[in-house]
Amino acid sequence: MVSRLPLSLARTLGLAIGTVVFYLSRAERRIATENLTCAFGPSKSAREIRKLCRRVFQHTFVSFVDFFVIRRWSKEKIERNFHLEKDFRRLQEAIPDGSVGITAHFGNWELLAIFFARYHPGTLVPTAQRGNNHKVQEYMDRIREAVNLEVIFTYESPRRFFQVLNEKKLLGLLPDQDLKIPNGVFVDFFGRPAYTSTLPVKLSCSTGLPLIMVLLVREGKGFRLLAHTRVHDPKEAGSEQDSWRITQRWSHLLADEIRACPEQWMWFHRRWDTQPGEEKRFQEPRWVREREKALKG
């Protein structure tokens, strides 16, 4: 029903729903407030933090309705409204042989995949976790199939990653959440140690493909494509042994972008839940062992 509304009306509805959810969701509001306070407390008052937290919820639900409405649009209608074709063309020209791509739960990451499917069909293959709600997951699968968007789920064989990269496509990863398996490193993220996946760096180094960061940020009534096309070039000095340094580099880049638009990141996620030393108790699932074996092979 929402997907058939005019975009302006749908966004008004999303704003209203986000405001209501902000007041009703005590647990998520508390987590977001604590995270925002730790990140911006010295520079913002408690009142400013609360306003910013409300904007986080509002942005989240506006992003939902943006996705539901715009995913029905043709490439021509998207271009008439947002004028992104030149940005996507420049990005495609910067990675002619494919790339390991990092994005984040920032801006509108689901809509970013839809835009890729419209402007450059078959170029992007994102990774995703399969949801616990089967009906919601089936709905998302139908949306992705409708735009011919191939998705790799995290439980699949790691050989799928290499297959995509060998086909000179862009593999999309979202490594900005807390990690619960023992294959990460602690990096500084907003002044606090955050346990972060090294998979993007390992894939870049093992395949010889560059590591890039791509984000779709909401700006006014439209969107802006942010592309850092040289987060790491494996042809330059450095190797997989520099996993911490390169992971820290892209984490700082992401933090800088979030500081510019703080309401557009998912602050109600427990990003700093894992503390130094706790990662030693994590058990590697079978698919991780297979992935590590594939990386070495």
**Helix, strand or coil for residue 261?**
coil
Which of 197, 144, 198, 200 is closest to 170 using CA atoms? Answer: 200
Neighbours of 261 (CB within 10 A): 18
Tokens of 53: 């937290």
Last residue of a domain, one of 11, 42, 70: 70
Do 126 and 63 belong to one domain?
no
Domain assignment present for 43: yes
Do 149 and 27 belong to one domain?
no
Do 6 and 94 belong to one domain?
no
Which of 246, 10, 202, 224 is closest to 106 using CA atoms? Answer: 224
Number of domains into which the chain is organized: 2
Do 237 and 188 belong to one domain?
yes
The torsion of the CA quartet 208, 213, 216, 219, rounded to 10 degrees, works out to -150
Domain assignment present for 111: yes
Domain assignment present for 76: no
Please report the pLDDT score of residue 158 as a whole number.
Answer: 80
Do 222 and 258 belong to one domain?
yes
Domain assignment present for 51: yes
Per the structure, the complete domain to which residue 217 belongs is given by 82-296
Please report the pLDDT score of residue 101 as a whole number.
Answer: 97
Please report the pLDDT score of residue 230 as a whole number.
Answer: 86
Do 177 and 280 belong to one domain?
yes
Domain assignment present for 285: yes
pTM for this structure? 0.91
Neighbours of 209 (CB within 10 A): 24
Last residue of a domain, one of 44, 70, 96: 70
Do 93 and 155 belong to one domain?
yes
- The ranges of the chain with pLDDT < 70 are 236-241, 283-297
With a CB cutoff of 8 Å and minimum separation 6, the contacts of 273 are: 178
Do 256 and 110 belong to one domain?
yes
Which of 248, 223, 211 is closest to 103 using CA atoms? Answer: 211
Do 57 and 95 belong to one domain?
no
Domain assignment present for 156: yes
Pairing of strands 211-219, 222-232: antiparallel
Do 66 and 95 belong to one domain?
no
Structure confidence by residue, pLDDT tens digits, 141-169: 888 888 889 999 887 878 899 999 999 99
Do 59 and 104 belong to one domain?
no
Domain assignment present for 27: yes
Please report the pLDDT score of residue 118 as a whole number.
Answer: 95
Please report the pLDDT score of residue 19 as a whole number.
Answer: 98
Q: Which H, E and C letters describe 148-187, residue by residue?
A: CCCCEECCCCCHHHHHHHHCCCEEEECCCCCCCCCCEEEE
Do 234 and 284 belong to one domain?
yes
- Give the span between the Cα atoms of 45 and 200, in whole angstroms: 37
Domain assignment present for 110: yes
215 neighbors 103 (Cβ within 8 angstroms): yes
Please report the pLDDT score of residue 71 as a whole number.
Answer: 93
Last residue of a domain, one of 70, 97, 122: 70
